[in-house]
A = this chain, B = another copy of it.
Amino acid sequence: MAEKTYFEGYEIGAVRETGGRTITETDIVVHAGHTGDFFPHHLDEEFARKGPFGRRIAHGTMLVAIGIGLTAGRVNEAAFAYGYDKVRFIRPVFIGDTIRTRVTVLEKVIDAKNPRRGRVTERCEILNQRSEIVVLVDQILMVERRPDAQ
């Protein structure tokens, strides 16, 4: 679903939460093949069994991609992703865990170089089924200002 939310429409502290998605063995195998990252922590059960977690864990790059992907059910046509500040891999995610993303508007500043737009930082906390934060991504959106707002 497309919509248009201007910089002025972002309210600091506003929170929304996506639906959930269960991380499957398929996701891990597909991600390895998609990225070429075949590290044994993700793909070798014998190796992983002897490691600190006792089993295979999901790739960090996958958790960022799926966790951010979960927020993509809603397209803001007035915004584009500028980058991330602070990505932290906090807890491992295992096959069978179910993740969802809680998005909080963290801060907003008018762009110094171009006052017709602003940067909005959204904290994306990727949570597991026990509501523990597994990955944290501070995503920076570049958002158009309302035409009459400048």
Contacts and interface: CB of A to CB of B under 8 A. Distances in A.
Given A44-B20, A65-B61, A85-B85, A34 B36 contact: no
A34 B81 CA distance: 19
Interface stretch (A7-15, A69-77, A106-114): A69-77
B87 A39 contact: no
A60 to B, nearest CB: 5
Chain A interface: which size bin? 35 or more
- This chain: copies in complex: 6
Given A25-B26, A85-B86, 11 more contacts: A19-B38, A21-B43, A33-B33, A33-B34, A34-B34, A36-B69, A37-B72, A45-B96, A46-B98, A64-B65, A81-B89
A22 B36 contact: no
Given A45-B98, A65-B61, A85-B85, A38 B25 contact: no
A31 B29 contact: no
Interface in A62-103: 62, 64-66, 68-70, 72-75, 81-89, 96, 98
Given A19-B47, A22-B44, A44-B98, A35 B66 contact: yes
